[in-house]
Each structure stands twice: as structure tokens, then as C-alpha cells.
Structure 1
């Protein structure tokens, strides 16, 4: 665990330093796009934070390749280089879009290409679909499901990038929970290269988000842009597939491993990677339905995302962000507690996870409701994007 802490601190420090450099360069050379009609920030703000995040991630990947503690992660170097290759493609396309607003078809094609690199070259695929019994996807079904999952998560994360600190904070919370889950799985049941790779990726993402968040906090000095959001979505989806899609069926079929709640234990490895990005996925799904119902492209920008609705309800930018943080923490922590309960020797320990969810959901609903008194409108520096 000490090595993961060191990796987190190194990644956060490098990302923070590079964010400062990118911000200074972007301000000096006016590397920021014009304010769009759908934007609500009032002053031109660089959207190149994704470059610093990417370089911080690459730096930690390269450093880890020389650390004996992460030798198991580099047991299959092709997988790691494929992840870096896919991340490079996404960041290049994301930066181009942040500067010049590329056509959505170009971006979508690049996303499928990056997903194919992860799946086809890196071999990161969903081989097992563990729903209580052995269900194996192989060949083109496995590749197709994996590619679609990666593309959907990338777009889901990108779609909620609309308020200062929203994506960085949500991903920080989500990856912290997924780190705990992956680390527990590696410690207790499956100390394989795949599981350790998932743990390593989540630690690096935690460092990337922590290092960039100070520059993205309201009022933001810099946005992560499509480059940063797509990078986070790509790596989060990949880490989830690495561990969950490769869990041996016998691990989930053995009642002794999941105590007396084998059914819940078998479902949780599938559920938890989904719930940690549940809000982005929900926002993405609603946007697709809303836009296609109007005869528009699913990727055409509008101002009806969940965070926009929060602002229209009267929440301030920061309050809206905290509400999203709260929902992300409650949902993901509840499932994690259920997992811990099902893997313990104490029958029914998963019930506190259920109780935590209901109590937390009630509290979140109360803070989500419109404020009793609408705040006086003020100039906002938040980013609103697709």
C-alpha cells in the first residue's frame, strides 16, 4: 500500500506542476477559444488542462516501469503501451477539439479507434460476464461489448464536464471507491496482474485528478477540456474491464468466497464499476434520448444537462458541484459496503450498506431540492460544454 501512496503523490505533484506550466503558457500565448453561445463563463479560459493530466499520467506509467513494486503491472507490457497509445490519440483529438471545435463524427471515430487499440492491441476485453454462473463472451461479441463500453463511458464523463471542478471531483470520488474495491479484491481473492493493473490505474487517476483540481476549482483558472474528460473516461472504463471482465467464474461461483450472500456477491463486481459512473451515464443517456427525439445528433450540444438543471433550480455553481459529489459518494460507497459485507464472515453484514444508501439518498434528495430562496444571480466562470 505504501507504493501506491508514493505513486499517488508523485502523480499528483507532477500533474500540479505541469498544470501550472500549461496554464502560464496558455495565458501568455492566448491559447483559449472564443466564448461560445452555450458557455456561461464570462472571460476566456484555457481548456488545455487535459495536456497536463495526460503528461502526469504518462510520467507515472514510465516511472512505474522501473519500480520493482509494479513489476506485476508490467508483466504484460503490451497492455500498458496500448493504454498509453489510446490515451495519446484521445488527448490529441481532444486538444484539437478544444481549440477548433471538431465535427462530432471525427471525435466519435477517434473514440472508437482508441477503444479498438485498448481492446484489439492491449487485449483488455470483457471475457467473463459473472451473473452468478459462468457466462463467457469471446471473439467478436467480447470485442464489440468492450469497445462500446469504453466509448459510452468516455462520452458519459465528457458530457458532465460543465461546471468548475465537477468532473475532476466526481472522478476523484469514483476512483477512490474503485481503488478500495480493486485493492480488497487483489488482497483477498485475485492477486493477478489484471487486478493489480486496475489498482495501479485508479491510483494514477486519483493523482491526476488531485493534481489538476486546484486549477479547476471555482473560479477555474483552466478547464480540462475534452482532452482531459475523454482521457479520464478511457482509463476508468479500461480499469473496470481489466478487473471485472477478467474475474474467473469460479471466484464468483464459490459460496465460501461471498459468505451467505453469493448472489449479491456475484452481481457486485459488475454493478460497482457501473455505479461509480452512474451519474455521468444517466446524464449521457438522457441527453441521447432528448436530442434524438428532437431529430438532432446525440452529440449536438445543448444546455439541458443535469448540472444545467441544477443551476436553473437556483443552486450556485459550487452547491451544484457538491450535490453531485454527494450523490456519487453515497451510491458508490453503498455498493462498496455491500461488497465488504458479502465477503466477510458475518452473515448479513451487507445490510448496513443498504441502510447507508437509503439514509444517504434521503439526505441527497433534501440537498438537491431547489433552495428555499433563490440566490441573487452573479457572474459565473463555469464551463458549459457538450
Structure 2
């Protein structure tokens, strides 16, 4: 059941203002406790930048959950899972958490939510891999100012056409408030806590919304549909894994082969790289949404 439209017009501006007005507090907190990102070979920023804006997204989402839980009981599970996701990433922002430990937490959070979704066993397994992959994909795509947030906003706005419109648009407004501080000039970064949180939230709410289609889709076509719905972050992550395995290195090892790196290495500015990838994201996700909607007819 949807929120009443009048409630959306209250929640959306408040979420946007939350992101816009609370982010400066997270910047001060990150500077005070040295939760910062230093310039490096694979990075485009040239100065030390705070990276704790993910806490704004997490707290804003939990506040929204209190508002939305009656209409959408699934937010209890997603809110709990997102807390595991956020804290594992936030811990990694402050100290080092092994990739396998993070992967285990991401799988647990995905399973925690998916137990509430009626899916056949094989569909459950595919969706489990997709949510876990999306959680990490949004982290890997975060290599240029505003890129991760725009990937999330674009996908959320387009996915609202499937249903749960006010849910997707409200979350897009929350991310939009933080975007002001991250693009085109980054006064703060999301950090791993924020990027993985966005990937988890989008993938869970997408599964929650599209579950009637997912449960009837053929097993062979389900990965293709979800690949399109995942858009640029999923495609970039798949290519990164294949590239690293081909080179005989760990799929978790960092490199400068991501699509945004390649575009900037070709001479495209960081600003136009982000804008171009946002258009690609819109095109790919739109195709995925079209195919999902076609199955509903």
C-alpha cells in the first residue's frame, strides 16, 4: 500500500533538508576524529577530505523508517540489515576490515531481508547474489564526485515507475540533499559506510517492489533482468571482477580500470564523466524497468 500523497509531500522535503543541513555536522565530526580520505594514485582529489557523510544517509533513512513502517512493514528488516551494512563500512572507514568479513556481513544482511520475500529457491539465490553484488557495486563505482549518489538517485527515480513510488522518490530526495556537498566539488565523501548503504537500500527496495515479477520470471532470464535494473554499477563491477581474474589477481584488489577512470584517462573531465555515466545509468535502468513492466501487463 502506498503512502498518501500528502504524506509524501511532507516526507520528501524533510528528507532533502535533512541531507542538506545535517551533512555539515558530519563533516565536522569526520574532521574531528580524522575520518578522512587522503589523496592517492587512484583518486582525483588533491586535498584531505572528510568521508563520513554516510552517517547522514543512515540516520535519515532510520528516521524515515519510523514514518513509513505502518505502510511498509518490510522497512523493519531493511532498516536492521542496513545498520549492519552501514557499520561494517563505517568501521572500514576508520580502521581496516577484511574483504571476506565485509562480504559475510553483506550476505547476512541480504538473507535477513530476503527471508520475508516469497521466492522460489533458485530465485532466492539469484536475488541474494544480486543484493550482495549491488551493495559492493555502489562502493566500487564511487570514484568521482557525486557519481555514487547520482547512480542511486537516477535508479530510484526510474524504479518508482514499478510501484512504491513515494518510497523511491523519498530516498532519492534524501540522497539529493547530500549530493550538494559531494558534487561537483566534494566537501565530503560518503565513505564505505554510505556507498554500501545506498547499494543495499536500492537493491532491497527494488526486490521488495518487483517481487511479483521476480517470482514468476524464468530462472534463465532473471539474472538478465536484474543486471539491467542494476545499471552501470553492476556492469562495472562484473567487468572489474573478470579483468582482475584474467590478470590472476584477487577480485578484491583495487585498480584503475573502472569505467570512470577510463573515461577520465581519455581526457574527459570528472564533471562530464559523472554526467555521461548518469545518462548511461538512466538508459540501462530504463530498459530494465520497461522489461519488468512488460511482464506486469
What range is the shorter-chain TM-score in? 0.7 to 0.9
Instruction: Give per-residue Cα distances to partners, 1:209-242, cap 9 Å, x unaligned.
Output: 1111001112201111111111111111111211
- For 1:107, which of 90, 102, 108 is the aligned residue? 102
Larger Rg: 1 or 2? 1
Gaps in structure 2 of 5+ consecutive residues? none
Task: Supply the distance in 2 between the matched residues of 1:30 and 1:249 (Cα, whole angstroms).
Answer: 46
Give, in angstroms, the shift of residue 307 of structure 1. 0.2
The TM-score normalised by the length of structure 2 is 0.88
Cα shift readout 1:79-123 (whole Å, capped 9, x = no counterpart):
322111110111111011122232211211111121122123xx1
- 2:57 matched residue in structure 1: 53
Q: After TM superposition, give the deviation of residue 325 of structure 1 in Å.
A: 1.1
Count of paired positions: 291
1:253-294 Cα deviation digits (max 9, x unpaired): xxxxxxxxxxxxxx8x98665424221111001100111112
Checking the alignment, whether the CA contact within 8 Å between 1:283 and 1:306 is kept in structure 2 is yes
CA gap 1:12/1:35 in 2 versus in 1, 3 angstroms:
same
In the alignment, which of 153, 158, 168 is matched to residue 149 of structure 2?
168
- The answer to whether residue 217 in structure 2 is matched with residue 236 in structure 1 is no
Q: Please, which runs of 5 or more residues in structure 1 have no aligned partner?
A: 66-70, 128-136, 183-195, 253-266, 345-386
2:231 is matched with which residue? 278
1:124 match: 117
Two-structure CA RMSD over aligned residues (Å): 2.7
Q: Secondary structure at the match of 1:277?
A: helix
The equivalent of 2:135 in structure 1 is 154
Equivalences for residues 1-386 of structure 1 within 5 A: 1-65=5-69, 71-74=70-73, 79-120=74-115, 123-124=116-117, 127=119, 137-138=120-121, 141-182=122-163, 196=164, 199-247=165-213, 274-334=227-287, 336=289
Once the two structures are superposed, residues 105-156 of structure 1 have per-residue CA deviations (whole angstroms, 9 ceiling, x without a partner) of: 1211111121122123xx135x2xxxxxxxxx24xx3442332121011112
CA distance in 2: counterparts of 1:305 and 1:224, whole angstroms: 18
TM-score (norm: length of structure 1): 0.69
3-state SS in 1 of match to 2:180: helix
Q: Is the 8 A contact 2:226 2:288 kept in 1?
A: no
